[in-house]
Chain A
Amino acid sequence: MKKHKKNRNVAIIGIGQTSLSSHKEDQNQVEMVQEAVINALQDAHLTIDDIDCIVHGNMELFEMQFAPDLWHSLGTGAYGKDEYRITTGGTTGMTLVCAADNLVASGLYDTVLAIGLEKLQEGNTTGGITNMADPLWFRNLQTGALTGTTAAEMISEFGEERAKRAAMKYRIMMDKHAVLNPRAHRRFGLEYEQAEDLMANSPQLVGELRLIHMCSQSDGACAMIFTSEKKAGKGTGKPPVWIRDHIQGHREETIPNLFGAVKPEMTHHYCARKLYERNGITDPVAYFDVFEMYDPSAWWAMDWLREFFLLKGDEHIKMLERGDFDLDGKIPINPSGGVIASNPIGATAMLRPAEAALQIRGDAGPHQIKKEVRHALASGFGGTFWTALMILEKDLNW
């Protein structure tokens, strides 16, 4: 069993975001990246000279641009510094944070800047996704990233009425959070009374997966600055947020194998199980104060809550129905509005730990959780059911 012992602890000391929208014609990619970087540097009270290394990520085939990190170097400040480029699909943002964590923990660098971005308006998402599949066989079957099988399974397990209501309640709850978040992309102002109407009339995409359930497609960038324990205390702007541990799990098999007569353990479950085990967390629902989960659709979100919290039966639906996931509930989910509200793909998975860190710091904004947040969980998700999971802490308590 591998030991995940760090040489030294790593703190998040700077967080910067751009606004997220689908109308960024007035900025080119470099300018968008630089906006996030400058925001992060200001947040940390640092200048670009304090940064030792840059970690850059996006899904390059979504903008159809090769090696964008070279082009963006004017904006990332990478000139003359070490730079790593990371591209891992939907999990890119989270992988950037994991990589930055590893780089600082190892002692190779003291202060690392990570940038995740996406400018989908400048590319073609479907083209990018289609080109992911092996050209000999699967490319012809590709339907993009959509499936309604989870909805069908939930309907079969919990009954049509209850399952559909749960997915819709989750969706409206996410919108309510997004309305509070000034940086979110899509804020519709949905009310719970609209549930019946939306359930019946939102256009169907695949099976019971409807347009209303699906995540956004946004342009935007997020930058974060990481540093060592020693440097974190000194003169930086905001209280540091500690990265306790992270794990990644990836199924190397082809996706159809998830739909056989016997379902394998989901990567969400596997990662959660291992992460909690090696950190001595026996009751994740009780332990964590917030969960920023990567939720590509309302259906998947509901299903995965059961996996991530290692629950059984209909416990997760009961929790939703009781209000445990609300902003003032037992374990708030996605106070930022989640991926359903904003999805700048290369940055999305980074926004999850970023928003979780803001909650710990207490300065998230109008969508700040009122109770003190000491322990946060953040997840990332990508194409082949790749899961990334991370624990953030307010204090060095492990």
Chain B
Amino acid sequence: MTEYFGATVADIFNTMPERFKPEEAKDVDIVIGYEATGEGGGKWTATIKHGTLKVEKVEELKGCKTTIHADAEIFVGVTLGKITAIDALTSQKLRVVGDARLLMTLLPKIFVPFTVTPRKKAVSARAILATVESRFRPEKAEGVTMNIGYDLTGENGGQWTLMIKDGRCTVREGFAEDLAVKLIMDADVYAGMMLGTIDGASAFTSGQVRIEGDMMAAAATTKFFHKYVDPNAAEAEELICLRVTNSIDQRFASGPVMGRWFAGLKEKKFMANKCPECGRTQIPPREICAICRVRVHEFVELGPKGTVTNFDIVYFASPDPLTGAVRDTPYTPIYVVLDGASEQDAFAFELKKEDIDRIKVGAKVRPVWADKPTGSFRDVLYFELDR
């Protein structure tokens, strides 16, 4: 199959089941279709239902809530992060029919990202064992006398003993008489573990590594040696990135003017204030008239109804920086000149979801209050069309 960036399109789908995180998909019920065109392409569906995943290669994309389409090369590139998803989406090289936000919200949540292990120059077990003596840390092995045997099977295998005594470590081919422990594995598994491409604990659990003798001794050996560093690693440069999520606690003083505003909301009233010089209203009220720069003391009640002068239908909501939560879309902020307000003084709030299809500039709206207002932002639920 044709490879792009070191992987095939099929690799992405073949690895989907092992990359799936069922605990993140408990409330998910969706069928997503994928179409990669061109050489190495194909069609697949991913059916995710209440924590289970079924991936199938198909002839036709049927019954999918959302489908994702791209040329095979773009497909692999975006999945691997070699091509920026947002750029591909903007230039339409990557097309989504349905909810495009899935790419950024759902998919990263329920799948571990697909990666390709870089093809490094193979380092043999023998070469690694040759560095053991130089990596020994005598300060960590004070008072320790131990022989550790390595029985490496397979093509590049062999038998070695690491002899630790009197603050020194010597490596000998073959097994010594009194081995405290013997580790048995394929030579390539040993190399993989030393290079970090194979996780030691998983290798042991899956039976790839067998231990004869004192298991605790085997576990202790790692701390006697500095980590092995692949000399060829200069090619694949590691770039460090630190991720931090801080948040600062804050306290905001309302002051008497905003305080009056919230007190008004508690009584289901919109309390604006009115400039003594130019007579314009300001909602929410502010200490000073922005045009005349004089202090404003007179409060006036506006509305409750008003006329819509402008509105936005928002399809894309930015995720909350702390929680990652995304608002339900579409939602509609409306700009309302309330009855009694100056003509340029619009009040922004949200429109009732059910009225989104019928909203027009010039429409009359009225507020819908919470049952028990407490003097907070949530006292007004939304505005609705006044019919």
Contact surface of A with B, Cβ cutoff 8 Å: 22-23, 25-26, 64, 124, 126-127, 130, 135-137, 140-141, 143-144, 146-149, 152, 156, 186, 188-190, 194, 197-198, 201-207, 211-212, 214, 252-253, 255-264
Q: Is B184 an interface residue (CB 8 A)?
A: no
Chain A residues within 8 Å of B313, by CB: 148, 206-207
In the bound assembly, the distance between CA atoms of A124 and B246 in angstroms comes to 12
Beta-carbon nearest neighbor of B349 in chain A: A141
Whether the pair B252, A206 counts as a contact (CB closer than 8 A) is no
Stretch at the interface among B31-39, B42-50, B169-177, B304-312: B304-312
Shortest Cβ gap from B68 to chain A (Å)? 12
Shortest Cβ gap from B33 to chain A (Å)? 17
Q: Is B348 an interface residue (CB 8 A)?
A: yes
Whether the pair A188, B348 counts as a contact (CB closer than 8 A) is no
Whether the pair B343, A126 counts as a contact (CB closer than 8 A) is no
New contact pairs (4) apart from A204-B316, A257-B346, CB-CB < 8 Å: A148-B313, A188-B90, A201-B92, A205-B316
In the bound assembly, the distance between CA atoms of A152 and B311 in angstroms comes to 9
Shortest Cβ gap from B291 to chain A (Å)? 8
B253-265: CB near A (< 8 Å → 1, else 0) gives 0100010011000
Chain A residues within 8 Å of B262, by CB: 136
Q: Is B377 an interface residue (CB 8 A)?
A: yes
Contact of B344 among A186, A194, A197, A264 (CB under 8 A): A264
When A205-B315, A206-B312, A206-B316 are in contact, do A260 and B337 touch as well, CB less than 8 Å? yes
In the bound assembly, the distance between CA atoms of A261 and B342 in angstroms comes to 9
Whether the pair B100, A203 counts as a contact (CB closer than 8 A) is yes
Shortest Cβ gap from B37 to chain A (Å)? 16
Contact of A143 among B333, B344, B377 (CB under 8 A): B333
Whether the pair B92, A198 counts as a contact (CB closer than 8 A) is yes
18 residue pairs from A and B, CB less than 8 Å apart: A26-B237, A141-B350, A147-B312, A156-B361, A194-B92, A203-B96, A203-B100, A204-B315, A205-B316, A212-B90, A212-B91, A256-B346, A259-B310, A259-B346, A260-B342, A260-B344, A262-B343, A264-B344
Chain A residues within 8 Å of B349, by CB: 141
Beta-carbon nearest neighbor of A209 in chain B: B312
Beta-carbon nearest neighbor of B283 in chain A: A256
The 7 closest A-B pairs by CB, nearest first: A127-B321, A188-B91, A259-B335, A260-B344, A259-B310, A256-B348, A126-B318
Whether the pair B310, A135 counts as a contact (CB closer than 8 A) is no
Whether the pair A25, B317 counts as a contact (CB closer than 8 A) is no
Whether the pair B312, A257 counts as a contact (CB closer than 8 A) is no
Q: Is B314 an interface residue (CB 8 A)?
A: yes
Query: What count of chain B residues pass the 8 Å CB interface test?
Result: 50
B278-313: CB near A (< 8 Å → 1, else 0) gives 000000100000100000000000000001011111
Whether the pair B89, A211 counts as a contact (CB closer than 8 A) is yes
Chain B residues 70-97 with CB under 8 Å of chain A are 84, 87, 89-93, 95-96
B106-132: CB near A (< 8 Å → 1, else 0) gives 000000000000000000000000000
Q: Is B225 an interface residue (CB 8 A)?
A: no
Whether the pair A64, B246 counts as a contact (CB closer than 8 A) is yes
Contact of B258 among A127, A137, A253 (CB under 8 A): A137
Q: Is B239 an interface residue (CB 8 A)?
A: yes
Beta-carbon nearest neighbor of A141 in chain B: B348
Chain A residues within 8 Å of B91, by CB: 188-190, 212
Q: Is B234 an interface residue (CB 8 A)?
A: no
In the bound assembly, the distance between CA atoms of A189 and B347 in angstroms comes to 42
Q: Is B196 an interface residue (CB 8 A)?
A: no
In the bound assembly, the distance between CA atoms of A158 and B116 in angstroms comes to 52
Chain A residues within 8 Å of B319, by CB: 126
Whether the pair A261, B312 counts as a contact (CB closer than 8 A) is no
Chain A residues within 8 Å of B216, by CB: none
Shortest Cβ gap from B343 to chain A (Å)? 4
When A143-B317, A202-B92, A203-B96 are in contact, do A149 and B377 touch as well, CB less than 8 Å? no
Whether the pair A149, B310 counts as a contact (CB closer than 8 A) is yes
Contact of B316 among A26, A146, A152, A212 (CB under 8 A): A146
Q: Is B250 an interface residue (CB 8 A)?
A: yes
Chain B residues 125-177 with CB under 8 Å of chain A are none
Q: Is B241 an interface residue (CB 8 A)?
A: yes
Chain B residues within 8 Å of A252, by CB: 290
Q: Is B186 an interface residue (CB 8 A)?
A: no
Whether the pair A256, B321 counts as a contact (CB closer than 8 A) is no
Beta-carbon nearest neighbor of B251 in chain A: A135
In the bound assembly, the distance between CA atoms of A189 and B92 in angstroms comes to 11
